[in-house]
Structure 1
């Protein structure tokens, strides 16, 4: 049901999504962030990690005017890029013209992308808070860039644009409560002009002011993301610090002499930072903060501040 046509002339820039940035609108399922922030435990005989309650789901259909009960449904959307609404801009920046916002007054709605690479910029999410009249508050419109390994849950009543696939078709498995009453399942408003600027290119990895694990691994201008990740992984697999050091989720173990291998801490934190696992980098540093002193502590504090700024 269409509630209104809103006259607006607004432009926003899409930012990378994180659970913290999106919390006011619902939830984000993103292992890169939530491995370090939600309750977890080993599962499947040690071959998996189970993360608990990664995104809110629920319904309030008991408050719907019709009184009709809802069922929880798995639906599927095959979304093609809306290329007719996307314009090429300068320096790789594109502009999407958003024409519609919708909300589901009595149910959350979770979109789980399938078939896209985890490093792809796969889709845009556009949301707005609700004004006192129940319509979207367009002065608070926000947009987010979402990758192929991230899912989004819209909170009940959250105004959002229809899903905007980027680059290629995206199949979404969609979890929602529905009762079959049009005005209770979905409400819409039309927009005049709402432009969302975004880039489909992976963000440039910010360089740290410290040397990276006494190596020289940096993403060079013109180097593809895939090639850079391969070079980074190869460096860490054969690097001079510790060939067995890979990922650390907590305090770094003592070595055989009972002394801390300080370089392993920096190594582990920097690796997570350069892999964009910013929350993991912060967790490593904070778990070992009391044990680290001197120049290494200074270097790790630089990494910690940079990582916190990124997530």
Structure 2
């Protein structure tokens, strides 16, 4: 099946068809595997270096309910629970939800409309499960050196939805190895510090940097704090030798920012809170900018 493409005067954005994305984890709509700037510079990586695996992450891919899927606790082993952007997922055992587990999936039906060369729209149709049902629209528009992603969720079920969504962002500029050549900054005010949990990274002032090429995973988090402090509204990643930059500006108040990665990719992850009463709609956006 051919990949989908969104183009502007400067960007070529390669998007997987939902039928080509597998697994029970990542949103199958708007799954970006590569962004090319000016026909020269690339910005994306696969979760497994150099290998496309339909059940793994790649490029700009999202996920809902990373830590606790809707309805999982109510579903008995063998029963289904909903995963927004994926489909109905079968619970296997009495164990807690495992976001990386390859559960059995019945995918949602997705309608795809290419409005023009620069705009692609996905509509995931609702299917009731445990009182949950969501009509999910994701619209992607390339313009100049930017890619805008708009999200709209209508709660067609009988129960309120309380979850979150994040873009994983497997990022690597022209395949340049992650390490001291990169610098990540958080854009906008913030009232709490970045907490490094795993790996050889450091946080100084407004920056996250690497002391060396990572030999293993690294991970850290930025929370708003117990008092609900100010959070950045985005991030910028720079590669010093080439001058390449990529940024994400969020049209929402983040509830968490995490940074994960390995030697072949950096993944800044901004979590959007999703709270929708029955019959209501939630909408938010992400704007990516690519600079050479």
TM-score after normalising by structure 1: 0.23
Larger Rg over CA atoms: 1
Greater RCO (CA < 8 Å, at least 6 residues apart): 1
Structure number with higher helix proportion: 1
TM-score after normalising by structure 2: 0.24
Structure number with higher strand proportion: 2
